[in-house]
Amino acid sequence: MITSSFLTSVAVFALITLHVGALDTFIAAVYEHAVILPNKTEIPVSQDDALHLMNKNIDILERAIKQAAEQKARIIVTPEDALYGWKFTRETVFPYLEDIPDPQVNWIPCQNPHRFGHAPVQTRLSCLAKNNSIYVLANMGDKKPCSSLNSTCPPNGYYQYNTNVVYDTEGKLVARYHKYHLYSEPQFDVPEKPELVTFNTTFGRFGIFTCFDIFFHDPAITLVKDFHVDTILFPAAWMNVLPLLTAIEFHSAWAMGMGVNLLVANTHHVSLNMTGSGIYAPNSPKVYHYDMKTELGKILLSEVDSHPRVSPAYPIAVNWSAYATTIKPFPVQKNTFRGFISRDEFNFTELFENAGNLTVCQKEFCCHLSYRMLKKEENEVYVLGAFTGLHGRRRREYWQVCTMLKCKTTNLTTCGRPVQTAFTRFEMFSLSGTFGTEYVFPEVLLTEIHLSPGKFEVLKDGRLVNKNGSSGPVLTVALFGRWYTKDYVYNSCGTCNPAVTYLLISTVLMIVAL
Ligand SMILES: *[C@@H]1O[C@H](CO)[C@@H](O)[C@H](O)[C@H]1NC(C)=O
Ligand SMILES: *[C@@H]1O[C@H](CO)[C@@H](O)[C@H](O)[C@H]1NC(C)=O
Ligand SMILES: *[C@@H]1O[C@H](CO)[C@@H](O)[C@H](O)[C@H]1NC(C)=O
Ligand SMILES: *[C@@H]1O[C@H](CO)[C@@H](O)[C@H](O)[C@H]1NC(C)=O
Ligand SMILES: *[C@@H]1O[C@H](CO)[C@@H](O)[C@H](O)[C@H]1NC(C)=O
Ligand SMILES: *[C@@H]1O[C@H](CO)[C@@H](O)[C@H](O)[C@H]1NC(C)=O
Ligand SMILES: *[C@@H]1O[C@H](CO)[C@@H](O)[C@H](O)[C@H]1NC(C)=O
Ligand SMILES: *[C@@H]1O[C@H](CO)[C@@H](O)[C@H](O)[C@H]1NC(C)=O
Ligand SMILES: *[C@@H]1O[C@H](CO)[C@@H](O)[C@H](O)[C@H]1NC(C)=O
Ligand SMILES: *[C@@H]1O[C@H](CO)[C@@H](O)[C@H](O)[C@H]1NC(C)=O
């Protein structure tokens, strides 16, 4: 009938109009950059020398940006510290900083370079985005003048921030994010509170944070859970730490655990174990790069879903403790022993047989493993481990970890130490734990630091299992849980506020000087 088909056409037309320009998928790019570092100095260089070095780095980023645009990428992420490196004091980083305004000012630096004072780096980045018609994320330093009347204002009269900026295809500044969780960065200040920075495009909603931020609830988890971003842009200068925290291993696991796309651009610096970038989708890594052999940069490109949550490939919701809390535990092993991964004390038990069902517990937290090896290699030993507690030297982050890993040698005292090669393949494995948290990141790392895309999955009852035939040679299989509400936060002592700490230190210094 005319009327109904007319109505249908109107409806279809309305739908098309609504989705005009909206994309189901897009091509993303990340660039792992081998930073040209400044010479060591205790005396700040001139602003011109600082700019000269940054331009040398941007020359290299420019080639990557052009290449990404030629391959039809919509967006490119470049790494943390990519313009000047990481070794600075507050004073020596100062000549590298620019005052970056709030994106609300609606500014295209490429068209209006002098609107906010001296801004050559912002202008060049904006022009690169505009001229190549691509979104560009870069990491640079922001300085914000403050009044000496304000007790939190540092003595030089500026707050200094580790900052990500994003320019759109017109060269407009659309996002600015100040890193919150600094990691040994005395040159930068901690912003007053975590910033929740998002922006919308025709190819999805984006959120931003930086490197060490990924271990904490804010802004990382909030961006995903409350702001429902589709894709996270994540620049990093990440030092790999085996067996649980190599970049590709942890970042791919976070993307899967959180159900978002994660675009990771790491800095490349072999002598500091910095390498490992990737484009990770919720169901599987799309592309990744790990290179300890050369000093070269590397561009990665991949097509990803604009809205992964509505894609048919989106993983099912998982109850991480359902299996582990409802089964009858396997006989707890008699020969459980203590061991360390970095500074964390695990309880381990050895995988003696070719196949078996094992449980190992620490306090009330238990990990279960069912496994069958293809062939037990004579000179290789694997253990199942459990850890629940505050992690590391700083002991601020609460971790719950179940892991099956290869020991460095057949001497059990080496279990948990870094090892890079393995030969043992598993016909099947199934790992689960009695997690108290809903934030669990599933890791599988194979020999020579490789991922295992498409060869494992998480079932809705929380079991991490291999699929599609036997595994490659295994270094680590882990369920890495973060229990944010049990993190250690300083109470009213006051030292939680970095500005106050700073004040205390300067007061002490003043007293010493007097
Ligand atoms: C480092 O110092 C050398 C020698 O003085 C000089 O040639 C070079 O340009 C400097 N590099 C940078 C990045 O400033
Ligand atoms: C971008 O284009 C402008 C002119 O539109 C040109 O002056 C500038 O050199 C170009 N910049 C880059 C980085 O390609
Ligand atoms: C001091 O600076 C902080 C951060 O910019 C600001 O939030 C606060 O209001 C300022 N305090 C005073 C007294 O101006
Ligand atoms: C993005 O769009 C959503 C609605 O689709 C809106 O709620 C949100 O505020 C927008 N975010 C930004 C940063 O514009
Ligand atoms: C790099 O990793 C290796 C092996 O994991 C470790 O022995 C070494 O200490 C690390 N280097 C740095 C600078 O952390
Ligand atoms: C997960 O499963 C366990 C065991 O069936 C159940 O007790 C728990 O309530 C479930 N958790 C959630 C968040 O559904
Ligand atoms: C397991 O861990 C707990 C808590 O750290 C510890 O008290 C216990 O001795 C460990 N068990 C073994 C066998 O090492
Ligand atoms: C492990 O347990 C499963 C049932 O839960 C059983 O079928 C299997 O035979 C057990 N494997 C070994 C090696 O004990
Ligand atoms: C294992 O290593 C420890 C310390 O690294 C050493 O004391 C012990 O003798 C070794 N055991 C064997 C059997 O080699
Ligand atoms: C299954 O494994 C084979 C060989 O390892 C691989 O070629 C294939 O792509 C995998 N299939 C899936 C669905 O991951």
- Atom 14 in ligand 3: residue holding the nearest Cα: 150
Mean pLDDT, range 174-193, rounded to an integer: 97
Using the predicted structure, report yes or no on whether residue 496 has a pLDDT greater than 50.
no
Answer left, alpha or beta for residue 446, where phi above 0 means left and psi between -120 and 50 means alpha. beta
Using the predicted structure, report yes or no on whether residue 507 has a pLDDT greater than 90.
no
**Does residue 319 line the site of ligand 3, with CB under 6 A?**
no
Mean pLDDT (the chain) is 92
Using the predicted structure, report yes or no on whether residue 18 has a pLDDT greater than 60.
no
Q: How far is the CA of 61 from the centre of ligand 1 (A)?
A: 20
Mean pLDDT, range 203-222, rounded to an integer: 98
Omega before residue 101 within 30° of 0, cis: no
Q: How far is the CA of 49 from the centre of ligand 2 (A)?
A: 22
CA distances from 448 to 291, 292, 385, 414 (A): 10, 10, 22, 18
Using the predicted structure, report yes or no on whether residue 84 has a pLDDT greater than 60.
yes
Pairwise CA distance, residues 431 & 338, whole Å: 20
Cβ atoms of residues 308 and 302 within 8 Å: no
Instruction: Give tens-digit pLDDT for 327-373.
Output: 987 877 678 999 999 999 999 999 999 999 999 999 999 999 999 99
Using the predicted structure, report yes or no on whether residue 166 has a pLDDT greater than 90.
yes
Query: Residue 503 has what pLDDT?
Result: 35
> 130, 143, 172, 179: which one is catalytic?
179
Residues of the chain with pLDDT > 70, as a percent, come to 91
Contacts of 49 (CB under 8 A, 6+ apart): 95
Query: Residue 14 has what pLDDT?
Result: 40
Query: Residue 490 has what pLDDT?
Result: 57
What residue segments make up the domains of the chain, in order of their start? 22-310, 322-491
CA distances from 396 to 52, 390, 399, 496 (A): 40, 6, 10, 12
Determine the topology of domain 22-310 in CATH. Answer: Nitrilase/N-carbamoyl-D-aminoacid amidohydrolase (3.60.110)
Query: Residue 510 has what pLDDT?
Result: 34
CA distances from 4 to 1, 16, 169, 181 (A): 6, 18, 41, 58
Using the predicted structure, report yes or no on whether residue 383 has a pLDDT greater than 70.
yes
**Does residue 292 line the site of ligand 5, with CB under 6 A?**
no
Q: How far is the CA of 467 from the centre of ligand 10 (A)?
A: 9
Query: Residue 505 has what pLDDT?
Result: 36
**pLDDT: which is higher, 506 or 272:** 272
Point out the ligand 8 atom lying closest to the alpha carbon of residue 353.
Answer: 13
For residue 103, the SS3 value is helix
Lowest mean pLDDT among 63-77, 436-450, 488-502: 488-502
Query: Residue 329 has what pLDDT?
Result: 79
User: Could you tell me the pTM of the whole model?
Assistant: 0.91
Using the predicted structure, report yes or no on whether residue 276 has a pLDDT greater than 90.
yes
Using the predicted structure, report yes or no on whether residue 508 has a pLDDT greater than 50.
no
